[in-house]
Amino acid sequence: MLRITGKTDVYGIFGFPVKHSLSPLMQTAAFEALGIDAVYVPFEVNPDNLGGAVSGLRAMNIKGINVTVPLKEKIVPFLDRIDEVAAFLGAVNTVKNENGVLSGYNTDGDGFVDSLEEEGVDVRGKTVLLIGAGGSGKAVTFALLKRGAGRVIIANRTLDRAVALSEKLKSYGDVEAISLEDVERVLSSADLIVNTTSVGMRETDPPLFDYEVIPPSVVVVDIIYKPFKTELLKVAEGKGAKIINGLGMLVHQGARAFRIWTGKEPPVDVMKRVILEQL
């Protein structure tokens, strides 16, 4: 039973909308599991009011927040310090408040790679076919390269965006940009296929490419967790491929935020369990 007193620390999430967020459930369960006297609440922050909301963190001594769509980029100029990853991405998903000094971090990409490791997938030296060149694609590609992926082929509907992203990332490793139509051509060289687009969230979404040609040797990852198994993952599984959904990324980006705030080892199993119960 949650017991809030005058000593309880307050954490939260800024989003617009924020009602769908599973982070309050996950982070509050993590605090409770470790006996940390803290709560984590949703804040619906209209982008027009973001500056005021950030001032409010300092004014009210809110210890930390996560930041979600559409505020991850917009919050950057309001913070005092930005770590290397968040600075490169130009996007923050975690803020820590230390006596009014606000530091921004981005745990999305590393959370993604952590979730692969948890499933026994080592990215070092691997060739990754990554679909999407938006904010998620950028965060995931950066983390993959930093953690030793051999090569990332970015495929995107709008080729220009994939090219721009590959240019930005090429000093970190071997990156190539292709258009979505060319995915089937490179499929046989990929160890991992990763979907970072929103395609698959709705049942009516047309496929990104012909999923029937996925070889059984490849690991297929979707950063979507709702639905729990997208059409891409369903077909890939049917082909005999190992599949991983976005639940692990959600949990591990949160676990890294928890570690930043508390300095303690996050109870990953508890965090995962409460989300699984909710989904």
What SS3 string covers 235-268? Answer: HHHHCCCEEECCHHHHHHHHHHHHHHHHCCCCCH
CB of 134 to ligand ATR, least distance (A): 2
CB of 208 to ligand ATR, least distance (A): 6
Running DSSP on this structure, what letter comes out for residue 192?
Answer: E
Query: Using the rule CB under 6 A, which residue among 13, 38, 133, 218 binds ligand ATR?
Result: 133
CB of 156 to ligand ATR, least distance (A): 5
Q: Which residues in the 184-203 window bind ligand ATR by CB under 6 A?
A: 196-199
**Given the complex with ligand ATR, which of 66 and 197 has the nearer CB atom?**
197
Cα gap 195→246, rounded to integer Å = 10
Window of 133-141, 185-193, 235-243, 260-268 that interacts with ligand ATR by CB under 6 A: 133-141
Query: In the block, which residue shows the tokens 């009014």?
Result: 100
Q: Which of 7, 19, 63, 72 is catalytic?
A: 72
Q: Which x/- pattern, by CB under 6 A, does the window 201-240 give for ligand ATR?
A: -------x--------------------------------
User: Which of 196, 144, 134 lies closest to 173 in space, CA to CA?
Assistant: 144
Which residues are CB-neighbours of 153 under 8 A, at least 6 positions away? 127, 128, 129, 130, 175, 176, 177, 178, 186, 189, 190
CB of 55 to ligand ATR, least distance (A): 26
CB of 99 to ligand ATR, least distance (A): 32
DSSP helix/strand/coil, 51: helix
Q: What is the per-residue DSSP string for 1-21? A: -----TT-EEEEEEESS-TT-
Other C-beta atoms lying within 10 Å of the C-beta of residue 236? 26
Instruction: With CB under 6 A as the rule, give the number of residues binding ligand ATR.
Output: 15
72 is catalytic: yes
Window of 157-165, 212-220, 235-243, 255-263 that interacts with ligand ATR by CB under 6 A: 157-165
Catalog residues that contact ligand ATR under the rule CB under 6 A.
132-137, 156-158, 161, 196-199, 208
Q: List the catalytic residues.
A: 72
